[in-house]
Amino acid sequence: MSAPLRKPAPRAPGTETAVTTPGDREIRTERVFDAPRERVWRAYTDPGLVAQWWGRGNPVDVERLEVERGGHWRFVEHGPDGTTYGFEGRFREVTPPERLVQTFEWDGMPGYVAVDTTTFEDLGDGRTRIVVTALFHTREERDGMLESGMETGLNDSYEALDRLLAGQA
Amino acid sequence: MSAPLRKPAPRAPGTETAVTTPGDREIRTERVFDAPRERVWRAYTDPGLVAQWWGRGNPVDVERLEVERGGHWRFVEHGPDGTTYGFEGRFREVTPPERLVQTFEWDGMPGYVAVDTTTFEDLGDGRTRIVVTALFHTREERDGMLESGMETGLNDSYEALDRLLAGQA
């Protein structure tokens, strides 16, 4: 009935998020950020900075963020209609500023646990490549995540992270 | 150099724990208890009762045991030399008195999460069969659990549970 009023804004070259499924139980995402690795690492591990991008514009309570092996994390995102979305997990490995391995669980599906391995690669030109590999217990859980609107949510989060990183002089 | 002073006591018929590996990432254990299902269910879900058998004679602090979907559990076992062993997880499914699905993680290997499905089968003669299927993210994690002395520990726990169930008139 109605023509689109405007097209989505084109992304800056190199900032597309590449989502692939290297195995039956995995999702791999890759994204380049225009900021040095140490700054990107801080955006992932400083509670005050995480709160500024993780919720894609929604307020986030960073209830726990114990960035050490065995430490727990828990974030609660507040949606525009008052709904809250809780996420939590535990760190398996913390190797600054290169690598985080942590579990990931959404309150809405408690006990369904993915293991996220995040690597921060210094591209040598002031940019950083982030690769996340998520491993699920079953293929069905992996497919459920893919069908949940994950890619849109991830792109929204990464764009909020772009804005945060651009603003940190 | 020395002959064993005594042989292990023979187990009562039907109370051996059967441990099998139905898949690359699974461990299945099966054990019959000489008590009605409701009583066995309580021994698994009442904090005061759990503390009496889970530690195989070692004291156990049941720090959390929220037996409901999404609830957390955390037990800390105190070994004889003062060492503590923490375990925790979250309930995916609670269907009294038939079925519990929960995650399982040991503090010593944080972020390595198995999903334990426990079924309580009423054998109709006052006995209850418990079957636990543990699903791991990788075969290596599964094999690590098998090599950890799990079977001995499990038998010790189940024998402590036998004693608890026999004492509850």
Reference B164, options B14, B41, B7, B49; nearest CA is B49
The region of weakest confidence among A45-49, A120-124, B12-16, B150-154 is B12-16
- Number of residues that make up chain A: 169
- At residue A10, does pLDDT exceed 80? no
pLDDT attached to residue A14: 58
Query: Edge-to-edge, what's the strand order for the sheet holding B128-135?
Result: B18-20, B26-33, B128-135, B114-122, B99-106, B84-95, B72-78, B60-65
A99 touches chain B (CB under 8 A): no
A115 touches chain B (CB under 8 A): yes
A90, A110, A135 ranked by CB distance to B137: nearest: A135
Residue B42, H or E segment? helix B37-45
B58-101 tens-digit pLDDT: 999 999 999 999 999 999 999 999 999 999 999 999 999 999 99
Average pLDDT score over residue span A32-49: 98
Instruction: Report the gap between the CA of B11 and the closest CA in chain A (Å).
Output: 35
**Residue owning tokens 């090599």:** B147
A72-120 tens-digit pLDDT: 999 999 999 999 999 999 999 999 999 999 999 999 999 999 999 999 9
* ipTM, interface predicted TM-score of the complex: 0.89
A115-167 tens-digit pLDDT: 999 999 999 999 999 999 999 999 999 999 999 989 999 999 999 999 999 99
Residues B134, B107 contacting (CB under 8 angstroms): no
| pLDDT band, very low/low/confident/very high, at A16 (cuts 50, 70, 90) | confident
**Residue owning tokens 């008052």:** A82
- Longest CA–CA span in chain B (Å) reads 54
Which residues on chain A are in Cβ contact (under 8 Å) with B89? 111
A140 touches chain B (CB under 8 A): no
Instruction: Report the gap between the CA of A131 and the closest CA in chain B (Å).
Output: 19
Query: Edge-to-edge, what's the strand order for the sheet holding A84-95?
Result: A18-20, A26-33, A128-135, A114-122, A99-106, A84-95, A72-78, A60-65
A69 touches chain B (CB under 8 A): yes
Instruction: Report the gap between the CA of B108 and the closest CA in chain A (Å).
Output: 8
pLDDT attached to residue B5: 44
- At residue A31, does pLDDT exceed 60? yes
C-alpha B66, offset from chain centre:
17
Instruction: Report the gap between the CA of A101 and the closest CA in chain B (Å).
Output: 8
* Distance, CA of B79 to CA of A149 (rounded, Å): 46
The proportion of chain B whose per-residue pLDDT surpasses 70, expressed as a percent, equals 90
Average pLDDT score over residue span B136-143: 98
pLDDT attached to residue A12: 57
Report CB contact under 8 Å: A110, B89: no
A111, A112, A115 ranked by CB distance to B137: nearest: A115
What secondary structure does DSSP assign to A6-22, as a single string?
SPPPPPPTT-PPEEE--
